[in-house]
Amino acid sequence: MTVETSVKTYQNYINGEWMSASSEGTLKSISPANKNEIIGYFQSSSKEDVDCAVQSAKEAKKTWRKLSGTDRGNYLYKAADLLESRVDEIAETMTREMGKTLPEAKGETMRGVAILRYYAGEGMRSVGDVIPASDSEAFMYTTRVPVGVVGVITPWNFPVAIPIWKMAPALIYGNTVVLKPAQETAITTTKIVECFHEAGFPQGVVNLVNGRGSVVGQSLINHPSINALTFTGSNTIGKQVAEGALARGAKYQLEMGGKNPIIIANDADVDFAVEATISGGLRSTGQKCTATSRVIVQAGIYEKFKAKLIEEVKKIKVGNGLNSDTWMGPCVSEGQLNTVLSYIEKGKQEGAVLLHGGKRAEGLEDGFYVEPTIFENVQSKMTIGQEEIFGPVLALIKVETLEEAFHLANDSEFGLSASIYTQNIGSMMDFIDEVEAGLVRVNAETAGVELQAPFGGMKNSSSHSREQGQAAKEFFTSTKTVFIKR
């Protein structure tokens, strides 16, 4: 029986107003913990709705960019306060809508608060330099100017943090935005935009258009008045974003897949390394672009590490993320569950040895639950050794030397994050120097990202730009050089 308790229909947000899609159609959001529970309805928008939102952002950009950085920052501070006041409500919505456990959802929401406050402060920072001119009677300097209207396309796995870490820098540097969130978490993201609305942002500065990616996302990619596109998601869609933006000369930024390795050296602290492997690979049900996927272990410590890993993974409680005893929730959707199960079957077919898990969690058939899964005897060229699974699957690979470990860590089309556990300073430095990843961590899990530091990948993990921290201004602004002759 379908549960529809207090179900609400959420509207788009365009030009400072909440409105239904022009088609008047809606889509439903269901709980991954219980496929019979409807969380709410959201708009199934059309190209016309995107056109309206983009036009609104275009009309607002001149007035918004003329505000001082301090004034723009004050709006972000207000939005942060409002988001913080609703942390419990928004975190619970996130857990119900995409399955992340409630403590993780609260942590993510508070991270969104911190990001807003960080970028609010950026409004007071320098945006240029004075450069000596060759002419003694001239004054020369640089400044930064906004790129214009930014299309923001975000995924479901971090429905608060990722939209905010894109929108906050875009806004503080004087741009206006049109946000298209993932369908799976449309309601959670809409509640973020409610905070921007209540903060009093001027009409047209922030716009939200929900709906199908094939319609709304594609319309943003192709729209002639979108000056820049920032995207996080799959490599397949990322390439479409890049091709569409390049075809019309728009700026674009992509953060895509990862096949992130953790290297366990012979001298590693096994307990800490196991803890990091489990946390990095299985929290959020492995649905992180920086999640640990390949576990490369030196032979001298392999059996001890494997035994401890299996022992600890067996303790994991799978269930509804709203329950306090749940460590790992469901996959976000039935489609994602089936994708994970198909990779598990592929691993078995290609000769990897299943050590633990490997099937749907028993007794939880109404949700999209899969057991935490461990394979060994994984070869690098196997499908589960190369392709991003985006689920709670760990692939153990045994090596003799660290040189072999570094080689295997780099044997991937991706280069997002990587980590090593070792006590040897030389091994640490060799790892940092040799591993091809945008984020490298020593004696820490692969899945840690700091809001004040640049984030992005190498190879096919990104478009080689960086998000977060002060590096964000490189994408959301252009440099203008000014020469003044007396």
Residues with catalytic function: 255
**Cα 292 from chain centroid (whole Å):** 15
Burial bucket for residue 426 (CB in 10 Å: 0-12, 13-18, 19+): exposed
Distance CA 104, CA 195 (A): 20
Distance CA 371, CA 281 (A): 13
Give the list of residues 6+ apart from residue 176 with CB closer than 8 angstroms, or none: 57, 58, 60, 61, 64, 148, 149, 150, 204, 205, 206, 207
Token pair, residue 245, equals: 């933006």
| Cα angle for residues 261, 443, 306 (degrees, 5° grid) | 60
Distance CA 122, CA 99 (A): 33
Sequence length of the chain is 486
Q: Where are the alpha helices (DSSP H) in 267-424?
A: 270-282, 299-313, 334-349, 383-386, 402-409
Burial bucket for residue 171 (CB in 10 Å: 0-12, 13-18, 19+): buried
Q: Which of 420, 424, 419, 421 is nearest to 439 (CA)?
A: 419
The residue whose two tokens read 């540097």 is 173
Token pair, residue 202, equals: 């001027």
Residue 207: beta bridge partners? 178
